[in-house]
Structure 1
Amino acid sequence: MALKFGILDQSIVFPGHTPAEALANTVKLAQFAEASGFERFWVSEHHDSALMAGASPEVLISHLLARTEKIKIGSGGVMLQHYSSYKVAENFNVLASLAPGRVELGIGRAPGGLPRSTKALQKGVSVTESLGEKLEELDQLLIGPLGEAHPLAGLQANPIPERPADVYLLGTSVSSAELAAERGYPYAFALFINNDPDAAKAAFDVYRAKFDRSKGREPKTLLALSVIAADTDEEAAELAGHLKSVRVTLASGKTVNVGTLEQAEEFAKQAGETYTAEVREADITRGTKDAVRKRLLELRDLYDVDELIFTTIVPDFEKRLRSFRLLKEAFEEEKLKV
């Protein structure tokens, strides 16, 4: 089976640019992805950050569906713990009715922001339900009314589409892999967030071993990673810059990944806890198209994944497009060799 590719865009507001320009570039990138034959295009959810313009993936997905024709458009992802399953189902049932077969609902488990935004998002929302319970409710609402055993029996998230949004679970740990396996969802591991190869391997192994096939589904695995391709190794290294990954561990045991030590300090301050921070070099697959292709094939084989999803953090939009073009060229050449 041919390896499939997708793009995850975070609508980053780079220095010297406006949020409107960042969102306009997201639209251009989605159109480029469709024209270039990428399988899917996902947008992220981030809150209370002047550096990220994509606070509402549902709204952005609707616009992207209208500005493209065939490519699958989805969320990478909606942070379901903040919201009513009913409202998420309504949003994505409307989207799936507008663009049948093209809508994907990726569910994320990260907060998507600092504790302050989490408190604001969850104000007045019950947080007693587990994510597993919310997913169970969401599954029902995407296809019809809630069952008789539910306290809100008969409730329906209209309109019910002929083809509901495809649900994916996104994660960075064995626990997220177990939940995806239990629910029978496709599973995407975010290597660009947790770049521990042992953690990724364990997550995929657990997912495949515990996958529930009772609904007639088969495991589907995706690896999301940072990639920068350029005409020379030196240019790729320059474009990659000095990006860091900072893993914050709060006194309560909760962990989260941020981009800087300043963000780590602010996260702990808003959480009201002491913390430790581990700084790592960001794991970016970078280099010429041949070097990048070699490592991507190695990662595919190491984790035995069906698809790769790329995020490319490069301020110069034309150079970002160039990186994706080189990736496509590299694998088109690989096909010709075979």
Structure 2
Amino acid sequence: MAYRLSLLDKSPVAEGEDASQALARTVTLAQKAEQWGFHRIWLAEHHNTAALAGPSPEVLIAWILAHTQNLRVGSGGVMLQHYSPYKVAENFNLLASLAPGRVDLGVGKAPGGLPLSTRALQQGVHAAEKGDFASQLKALDGWLTAPPAGADATDSLQATPLPPLPASRFLLGASEGSAQLAAELGWEFVYAAHINGNEQDLARSLDAYRSHSGGRPALLAVQAIVASTAEQASALATDLKHFRVHVNNGQTVNVGSVAQAEAFIRQSGATEHRIEPRESTAITGTAEQVHRHLQQLHQRYGIEEFIIDTPVSQGAARLKSLELLASHQLVAA
């Protein structure tokens, strides 16, 4: 097999569960993923929702690092617009000092929630002083870059501690602009096809990253559901939906239900809006069928690593899906 498999986990809370059970399953998934040969696991950031138990990937990263041995662990991603780039750098320098060589910093541009949580997270922040997303990312990159050896630290500001091996840096995005920004800063780029699977956007973004990074391959995040039969996998994906909301202040957001779309519109105070259904691009089927699809993407776009998002809330089915995917890869390798 010519590509790696990694995981994105959102700590979904299944019906009848509480957050503690969902988070315990995330830890179990990380331990299983290490046994099954996955390369890394990333934790998502979502706010103000009872359906997902992970608003703070940094906290969960530390816990999973302590419960695994070799698996890379990271954020998929930190929603930088809410935070001080300096504080994000401190957090990930600390994590990288706790587990050198195992920590990934993935950064995203999305809010990770609806306007109510965004306003709460950004209360007191001076937007003009903070700057746009590109400025924030450049500031973060600067704080993560260690000063030259022997540099005078007197009266200087550093994001301490300085780890022996800094966290690897990834920008998560779904546009040419994000791809170019990642290349400009020397960050790895992850195209978020699990959010925007539009083939034209995918192709343009990957081409932009390759051309601006000197041919460096991007990673690709995809939704994939595997079961023993194609029919079973299809049944698990029955309720999987995507909608893109456009409001009159220029904001757009991707959501998973009409109810979430309507909540975004109410909370944003929009007077005009458009809800656009998006076709699901989840890859479903048996392990062989899903790997065949991944192989096609690998051959077409030169993808060397896939970040697998399995949007199944039932814990047993999600674990089984990922086990089947990993086991088939090991057999076929």
TM-score, with normalisation over the residues of structure 1?
0.92
Instruction: After superposition, give the CA deviation of every residue in 1:281-315 in whole Å (9 maximum; x if it has no partner).
Output: 42211111111111111122222212101011223
* Equivalent in the alignment of 1:198: 200
Q: Counterparts of 1:131 and 1:242 in 2: how far apart (Å)?
A: 33
Paired residue type of 1:173: S
RMSD: 1.6
* Equivalent in the alignment of 1:113: 113
Higher normalized contact order (CA 8 Å, seq sep 6+, divided by chain length): 2
| Contact 2:36/2:327 (<8 A) preserved | no
* Equivalent in the alignment of 1:261: 258
| Contact 2:217/2:302 (<8 A) preserved | no
Matching of residue 173 in structure 1 with residue 175 in structure 2: yes
Q: Counterparts of 2:265 and 2:315 in 1: how far apart (Å)?
A: 33
1:214-225 counterparts in 2 under 5 A? 219-225=216-222
Matching of residue 55 in structure 1 with residue 52 in structure 2: no
Instruction: After superposition, give the CA deviation of every residue in 1:134-161 in whole Å (9 maximum; x if it has no partner).
Output: 2222222223369xxxxxx821111111
Q: Counterparts of 2:18 and 2:44 in 1: how far apart (Å)?
A: 18
- 1:126 deviates by 2.8
Q: Could you tell me the percent identity over the aligned residues? A: 47
Quick one: which of 188, 209, 212 aligns to 2:211? 209
* Equivalent in the alignment of 2:286: 288
Quick one: which of 320, 324, 327 aligns to 1:326? 324
Instruction: After superposition, give the CA deviation of every residue in 1:189-212 in whole Å (9 maximum; x if it has no partner).
Output: 11110010110111000111112x
* Equivalent in the alignment of 2:42: 42
Q: Counterparts of 2:279 and 2:205 in 1: how far apart (Å)?
A: 22
Quick one: which of 236, 241, 263 aligns to 2:238? 241
| Contact 1:145/1:154 (<8 A) preserved | no
Q: Counterparts of 1:209 and 1:132 in 2: how far apart (Å)?
A: 19
| Contact 1:200/1:303 (<8 A) preserved | no
* Equivalent in the alignment of 2:152: none
* Equivalent in the alignment of 1:124: 124
* Structure 2 unaligned spans of 5+: 149-154
* Structure 1 unaligned spans of 5+: 147-152
Q: Counterparts of 1:94 and 1:268 in 2: how far apart (Å)?
A: 38
Q: Counterparts of 2:52 and 2:176 in 1: how far apart (Å)?
A: 28
Aligned length: 324
Q: Counterparts of 1:161 and 1:247 in 2: how far apart (Å)?
A: 40
1:132-143 counterparts in 2 under 5 A? 132-143=134-145
* Equivalent in the alignment of 1:155: 157
* Equivalent in the alignment of 1:19: 19
Instruction: After superposition, give the CA deviation of every residue in 1:14-70 in whole Å (9 maximum; x if it has no partner).
Output: 222111111111100011111111110000000111111100000000101001111
Q: What SS is found at the alignment partner of 2:134?
A: helix
Q: Counterparts of 1:258 and 1:131 in 2: how far apart (Å)?
A: 21
Q: What SS is found at the alignment partner of 2:311?
A: coil
Q: What SS is found at the alignment partner of 1:55?
A: coil
Q: Counterparts of 1:225 and 1:75 in 2: how far apart (Å)?
A: 16
Q: What SS is found at the alignment partner of 1:277?
A: strand
* Equivalent in the alignment of 1:276: 274
- 1:2 deviates by 3.1
| Contact 2:85/2:139 (<8 A) preserved | yes
Quick one: which of 158, 166, 179 aligns to 1:164? 166
Matching of residue 299 in structure 1 with residue 283 in structure 2: no
Paired residue type of 2:175: S
Q: Counterparts of 2:313 and 2:10 in 1: how far apart (Å)?
A: 12
Instruction: After superposition, give the CA deviation of every residue in 1:233-265 in whole Å (9 maximum; x if it has no partner).
Output: 111111112210011111123211001111111
Q: What SS is found at the alignment partner of 1:11?
A: coil
Q: What SS is found at the alignment partner of 1:124?
A: coil
TM-score, with normalisation over the residues of structure 2?
0.93
- 1:12 deviates by 1.0
